Structures are given as C-alpha cells and as structure tokens.
Amino acid sequence: MNKIAFHQVKLQSLHFNEVLAGRKTHEIRFNDRDYQAGDCLILREVDDNGDDTGQEMNAEITHVQQGDHFGLADGWCVLSLANTTPLQGIRLIGYLRDRLKEHCDYIETQVPLIKETGHTTYDATRAIEAGRCWVDEANHFLKKFPVVEP
C-alpha cells in the first residue's frame, strides 16, 4: 500500500487563482519530488515578487505525465490536478445553512414564550428573518451544483 505524499509548492497568484477557480487543472513541474497519482499538492500562493501571500490550498494529483514524451523535456512532468477546495467550501455552505435553519427554527419556537414574559420580540423576529434570508441565499447558491455527499 502506497502512502500519500504531501508536496508543498509555491504558485504565482495568477496561476493560484486559476487552480482555485477550477479553470487550471494541470501544473508543469520539474520532477525532483517523485510526484505520484494520489499525492497531495499544498499550493502556497506567492505574489509577483515571490513573497508568500499567506493563502494556500490543496489539490490532489490524479495523473503524472513524465517528461521525454510529447515535447516535454526529460526530468519534467505534467501533473493533472483535482482541486478539492471548492468541494469542501460547498459542503461547508450546506452545513452552515442547515445549522442556521435549525437556529431560526429554535428561535421561532421561543417567540411565544418571549411574548408571555412581556418582553419584546423585535430582536428575535429580526434574527429569524435575516437568518431565513441567508438560508434562501445558500439554497440558491447550492442549486448550481450537483448533490455533494460528504
């Protein structure tokens, strides 16, 4: 059984953002790390001066095309990447939407009790309305993606 290797590499902002957006699905690298399918790239964003921006993301290597083929020099490789960061974000949005809905439902059940005690329900009602708006926004956003199971 092979162990997954983690490779921390720097990537310029332009390319980092393209991988993050899912438009760039490959990376050409000198193969000094014995990259293998299934390994994880930890991509660290650097600006035009080579300074670390503090942003990072993970991408799984799904295929390695070794050099000395198709015009690629020996010692170099093309890494096919599967960006798992957006998938994690989509799952997080779904999770937070569900917790917010539960929270709104709970507050709503407490409104009659608040009224019984003679207190105002203005803040509770506003929290419920705002929360439900965010739940609707999350639902609208998540409709753009297929069902994502954890």
Residues 106-121: pLDDT tens digits?
A: 999 999 999 999 999 9
**Domain end (from 54, 83, 112):** 83
3-state SS, residue 4: coil
- Report how far residue 70's alpha carbon sits from residue 13's, in angstroms, rounded to the nearest whole number: 28
Residue 1 within any structural domain of the chain: no
Greatest alpha-carbon pair distance for the chain in Å reads 80
Please count the CA atoms within 13 angstroms of the CA of 118 that sit on its side-chain side. Answer: 0
Helix (H) or strand (E) holding 53: strand 52-66
What digits encode the pLDDT tens for the residues 21-58? 778 899 999 999 999 998 989 999 999 999 999 988 88
Q: Cβ(79)–Cβ(66) under 8 Å?
A: no
Kindly state whether residues 56 and 101 are assigned to the same domain.
no
Residue 36 within any structural domain of the chain: yes
Q: What is the mean pLDDT of the chain?
A: 88
Kindly state whether residues 21 and 48 are assigned to the same domain.
yes
**Domain end (from 64, 83, 102):** 83
Long-range contacts of 54-61 (CB under 8 A, 24+ apart): 55/16, 57/16, 57/19, 57/20, 57/83, 57/85, 58/84, 58/85, 59/19, 59/83, 59/84, 59/85, 60/84, 61/35, 61/36, 61/37
Q: Cβ(148)–Cβ(94) under 8 Å?
A: yes
What digits encode the pLDDT tens for the residues 64-80? 999 888 888 999 999 99
For tokens 């399918």, what's the residue? 37
Kindly state whether residues 100 and 47 are assigned to the same domain.
no
Residue 98 pLDDT > 60: yes
